[in-house]
Amino acid sequence: MSDLERLKHLLLAEERAALDRAGERIDELERERDGLAAALPDLVRAAPREPMTRALSAPVAAALGSAVRDNSRSVIDALFPVIGPMIRKAIAEALRGLMADLNGVLEQSFTLHGIRWRVQAWRGGVPYAQVVLKHSLRYQIDHVFLIERDSGLVVHRESSAGLPDLDADAIAGMLTAIGQFVRDSVGRGGEGDHSLESARVGEYLLWVVDGPRASLACFINGVPPEPLRGILVERLEAIHAQIGDAREDHSAMLRAQLDPLELLRAGASATTAAPRPSRAPLLILALIALAAIAWTGVRAWRWDARVETARVALSAHPGLLLTEVESRRWRSLTFRGLLDPDASPPAAVLAGIDFGEVQPLLRIDGYLSTDDPVIERRARRLLQPPAGVAVAVDAGVLVLRGRADSAWIAMARVRAPWVAGVQSARIDVSALDIAPASAESAADVARAELDALAADLEARTIGFVRELELEADADAQLDAIVSATERARALQVAAQVTLRLRALGHNDVGGSDELNANLRAARAQWLVDALVARGVPANLFEDGDAAAAGTGDAILVRGARVRLEQEPVIP
């Protein structure tokens, strides 16, 4: 051993020994740690339960909170198979109970109970649903406790079958403490008896009935009827009357008095046997409602009857076509329709019908009516018959009767077909005679009618859209010209004249003179051909007349017309 080694040994011997001992201790601790994992379950099972629970509650709660906070998704996934069915079951039970309650509410809505509950809600100023639920929700008495008032000890207790027992001593202490608090805080003035009567404890409704020696506490699930409190008071009074001798065994009596099922039966009987309130207010309200409904129905019936009367009258009014009736009872009334200008005003029809304060309105548009009275008024307006002529229309046939001068008769023969709704074949002038005071001859009458026919033909023009393309009413104009021509031919012998027809063609502005002259001649020739094709004798048109007419008497319109010329017959 060198001097250096000896020096290290002298200086560091104690420290090396301490390090060796520390290493051995560390090795021993590591061996114990390795064996602790295997021995820990046995140690936990062998440890006292209460100290172990208190020791582990804080760290386990902290660890669970940290796990939920840091790994919420994993915790949710782990609890979902358990919590999901529990939540669904709870929701299903709640919905089932709610549906049962709602069914009860709907069943009572239109019954005498429902009407009485509505009156009760109206008088009490509470929602109708709250009153219905109060009367229709089911209830159950789950736990009944008889507690000695001075000591706070539970004398007797009863619970419904199938329910877990509650901690009677804890409940008795709680009720005693709360009751004392209420008496000390609320009743410290010394006036009145202030005690706890009801409270909400979780899902339970707690009713407390105090007696001189004991109190009765009931845990009720649901909404109990008010008569149940009277039953509890009677049971508590009966218990006080029978527990005077403390040496006797009163357990059988207490079980009979405090049985929850028996209390339910007594509460139901008391509710059923409770005196019903007077039905007089309900009957009065029902009579008032029926009277209001009847009055409204009669008023609506009278209004509808008057509207129907007006509708029938307006529908039958000549010249009026009723299309729509807008009726808002007791507020407004509007009739819409179509009215011929020659019809009589329909306002007089509505004047005789009483609609109260409502002023009926007429929304009328114009149209051409074919009713006989309207055609008659139209004929009178257009023909303006003298005093000796009667105008009538029967099934669309215009009938003229009486006597008039020849000029008016000639004018009537020409203008009668102009009356809308009357055709040439539906005019009867057979009963029309010349007035005796007239000194005119038959020739003068015929000439007057020929003059009217000439004026009518002069006013009729066959229109062209372009060149020889006809307008829509060309056929009707041609028929009228043919009819007037036939009548003129029938009168020429009596009038002692020779008739001649001249076709005239016309053009509007534009185009050269040569082009316009050819166009006028073509239109005049077309008119001659059309009339000949409809039976007008061709000899009424002299050769070359059409072509010659095309060069003169031009007006600025696209059309063609016929001029009736008369030449006296020389005897």
> Mutual orientation of helices 372-383 and 406-415 as an angle, nearest 10°?
130
Q: Please give the pLDDT value at position 551.
A: 42
pLDDT category, 547, cuts 50, 70, 90? very low
Decide if 220 is inside a domain.
yes
Based on the domain organization, do 472 and 565 belong to the same domain? yes
Kindly tell me if the per-residue pLDDT of 515 is higher than 80: yes
Residues 402 and 303 in one domain: no
Q: Kindly report the pTM of this predicted structure.
A: 0.35
- Is the residue at 101 inside a domain? no
Q: Is 546's pLDDT higher than 50?
A: no
Which of 242, 270, 298 marks a domain boundary? 270
| CATH code: domain of residue 385 | 3.30.1340
- Domain closes at, from 392, 423, 440: 440
Side-chain-side CA neighbours of residue 252 (13 Å) = 2
Q: What is the mean pLDDT of residues 209-214?
A: 81
Share of the chain above pLDDT 90, in %: 2
How much is the average pLDDT of 498-516?
84
Q: Please choose, from the candidates 340, 286, 283, 293, the residue with its C-alpha nearest in 3D space to the C-alpha of residue 317.
A: 340
Q: What is the CA radius of gyration of the chain?
A: 59
Pairing of strands 214-222, 559-568: unpaired
The pLDDT of 547-554, averaged and rounded, is: 45
Q: Is the pLDDT of residue 145 over 70?
A: yes
Q: Is the pLDDT confidence value at 188 over 70?
A: no
Reported as a single tens digit per residue, the pLDDT across 412-449 is 777 777 788 776 557 777 777 766 544 456 777 778 88
Q: Has residue 106 been placed in a domain?
A: no
Work out the average pLDDT over 513-523. Answer: 87
Q: Is the pLDDT reported for residue 108 higher than 60?
A: no
Residue 302's domain is classified under what CATH number? 3.30.300
Statement to judge: residues 405 and 460 lie in one domain: no
In percent, the amount of the chain with pLDDT more than 70 equals 77
Q: From CA 197, how far away is CA 224, in angstroms rounded? A: 14
- pLDDT tens-place string over residues 312-338: 888 888 888 888 888 888 788 898 888
Assess whether pLDDT exceeds 80 at residue 489.
yes
Instruction: Provide the β-strand partners of residue 335.
Output: 325, 362
> What CATH number has the domain bearing residue 197?
3.30.450.70
The predicted structure's pLDDT at residue 548? 40
> Phi then psi for 385, rounded to 5 degrees?
-70, 150
Q: What is the DSSP letter of 425?
A: G
E-state strands within 26-153: 139-148
Same domain, 334 and 416: no
Identify whether residues 524 and 560 lie together within a single domain.
yes
Strands 361-366 and 332-339: parallel
Name beta bridge partners: 500: 565
How far is Cα 132 from Cα 400, in angstroms, rounded to an integer?
83
Q: Domain ends where: 224, 239, 270?
A: 270
Confidence class of residue 31 from pLDDT cuts 50, 70 and 90? confident
Q: Does residue 294 fall inside a structural domain?
A: yes
Residues 362 and 461 in one domain: no
Total count of domains within the chain: 5
Angle at 522 between CA 517 and CA 524, to 5 degrees: 95
Asked if residue 244 and residue 143 are part of one domain, the reply reads yes
Q: Is residue 157 part of a domain?
A: yes
Judge whether residue 37 has pLDDT over 50: yes
Q: Which residue has the higher pLDDT, 439 or 10?
A: 10
Say whether both 465 and 548 belong to one domain. Answer: yes
Is 243 inside any structural domain? Answer: yes
SS3 state at 427: strand
For residues 103-123, average pLDDT: 68
Q: Which residues of 442-453 are buried (b: 16+ CB within 10 A; e: fewer)?
A: eebbbbbbbbbb
- Given a cut of 70, is residue 372 above it in pLDDT? yes
d(CA 206, CA 164): 17
pLDDT above 70 for 129: no
Residues 291, 392, single domain; the answer is no
Answer yes or no: is pLDDT of 365 > 70: yes
First to last CA, the chain: 193
pLDDT over threshold 70, residue 381 = yes
* Nearest alpha carbon to residue 369 among 350, 397, 396: 396
Instruction: Note whether residue 78 is domain-resident.
Output: no
Both 346 and 392 in one domain: the answer is no
Average pLDDT, stretch 489-511?
A: 84
pLDDT > 50? residue 182? yes
Mean pLDDT for all residues in the chain: 76
Q: Which residues pair with 360 in a beta bridge?
A: none
Contact call for residues 368 and 362 (beta carbons, < 8 A):
no
35 CB burial (10 A radius; 0-12, 13-18, 19+)? exposed
CATH for 568: 3.30.1330.60
pLDDT beyond 70 at 246: no
What is the mean predicted confidence (pLDDT) over 449-472?
84
Which is nearest to 422 in space by CA: 396, 394, 391? 396
Q: How far is Cα of residue 321 from the mean position of the Cα atoms in its chain?
A: 32
In this structure, the chain runs to a length of 571
In one-letter notation, the amino acid at residue 59 is P
Does position 170 have pLDDT exceeding 50, yes or no? Answer: yes
Question: Are residues 517 and 534 located together in one domain of the fold?
Answer: yes
Give the least confident one: 1-10, 40-49, 240-249: 240-249
Q: Are residues 558 and 464 in the same domain?
A: yes
Domain span at residue 532? 441-571
Confidence of residue 271 (pLDDT cuts 50, 70, 90): low
What is the mean pLDDT of the segment spanning 332-346?
85
Q: What residues contact 446, with CB distance under 8 A and at least 6 apart?
A: 491, 492, 494, 495
Q: Is 565 within a domain?
A: yes
Look at the block and give the residue holding tokens 């629970």: 53
Task: Name the strands in the sheet holding 462-466, side by side, starting at the edge strand that comes first in the sequence.
Answer: 469-470, 462-466, 559-568, 497-506
Q: Which residue has the higher pLDDT, 556 or 328?
A: 328
Structure-model confidence comparison of residues 273 and 239, the more confident one: 239
